């Protein structure tokens, strides 16, 4: 497996990934934003509607996969980098939304290696925004699918409990 200091923070929607990553960034760690959010925000800025983007799940998931591939390629290999979601998240989303798995996905998964994966437990204060539209039940299903994808692919998972944000960061840093 990869010995580069690349880590993944993952979990279902509203697990506190963004807050945790912002705190890690404030402490000087490299962070890579969530590819799906980047994709959605870019498309919305171009005038597409959320309904339009969600109407073709195979295209949407393939486009987000390509965003993942590009973000991981761009990150320097000689610094600690925390990714907001990793490539196996794509596998989980493909499965949740019934998108057929293809060679492009599996090639990307073969090339995705992380030193450690931190799976953040879902927080109770569930909030939607312009691109997070899932219900709490859907978020739980996605969370479970993400965990299964990482386990299936043999990644070491560290379960991160719900804690105050700074304590979550300490929990993660103590386990690097």
Q: Which domains does the chain have, with CATH numbers?
A: 6-173 (3.40.50.300)
- DSSP assignment of 7-75, as one string? EEEE-STTSSHHHHHHHHHHTT-EEE--HHHHHHHHHHHTT--HHHHHT-HHHHHHHHHHHHHHHHHHS
Torsion angle in degrees (nearest 10) through CA of 21, 29, 7, 171: -70
Full pLDDT tens readout for the chain, 176 residues: 445 678 999 999 989 999 999 999 999 999 999 999 999 999 999 999 999 999 999 999 999 999 999 988 887 666 789 999 999 999 999 999 999 999 999 999 998 889 999 999 998 776 656 565 778 888 899 999 999 999 999 998 999 999 999 999 999 999 99
pTM attached to this predicted model: 0.91
State how far the Cα of 42 lies from the Cα of 169, in Å rounded to an integer: 29
Burial of 85 (0-12, 13-18, 19+ CB in 10 A): buried
pLDDT of residue 72: 86
pLDDT of residue 127: 65
CB-facing half-sphere around the CA of 104: CA atoms within 13 A:
15
Dihedral sign from CA coordinates of 31, 25, 143, 154:
positive
State how far the Cα of 87 lies from the Cα of 114, in Å rounded to an integer: 10
pLDDT of residue 80: 80
pLDDT of residue 129: 60
State how far the Cα of 84 lies from the Cα of 29, in Å rounded to an integer: 13
pLDDT of residue 140: 93
State how far the Cα of 95 lies from the Cα of 101, in Å rounded to an integer: 8
pLDDT tens per residue across span 16-40: 999 999 999 999 999 999 999 999 9
């Amino acid at each position: 497996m990869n010995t580069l200091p690349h880590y993944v923070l993952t979990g279902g929607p509203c697990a506190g990934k963004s807050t945790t990553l912002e705190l890690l960034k404030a402490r000087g760690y490299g962070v890579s934003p969530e590819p799906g959010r980047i994709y959605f925000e870019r498309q919305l800025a171009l005038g597409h509607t959320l309904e339009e983007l969600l109407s073709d799940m195979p295209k949407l998931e393939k486009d987000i996969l390509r965003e993942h591939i590009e973000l991981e390629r761009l990150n320097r290999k000689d610094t600690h980098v925390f990714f907001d979601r990793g490539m196996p998240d794509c596998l989980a989303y493909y499965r949740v939304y019934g998108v057929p798995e293809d060679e492009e996905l599996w090639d990307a998964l073969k090339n995705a290696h992380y030193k450690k994966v931190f799976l953040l437990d879902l927080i109770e204060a569930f909030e939607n925004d312009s691109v997070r539209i899932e219900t709490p039940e859907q978020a739980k299903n996605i969370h479970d699918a993400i965990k299964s994808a990482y386990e299936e692919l043999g990644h070491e998972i560290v379960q991160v409990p719900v804690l105050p944000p700074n304590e979550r960061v300490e929990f993660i840093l103590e386990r690097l």
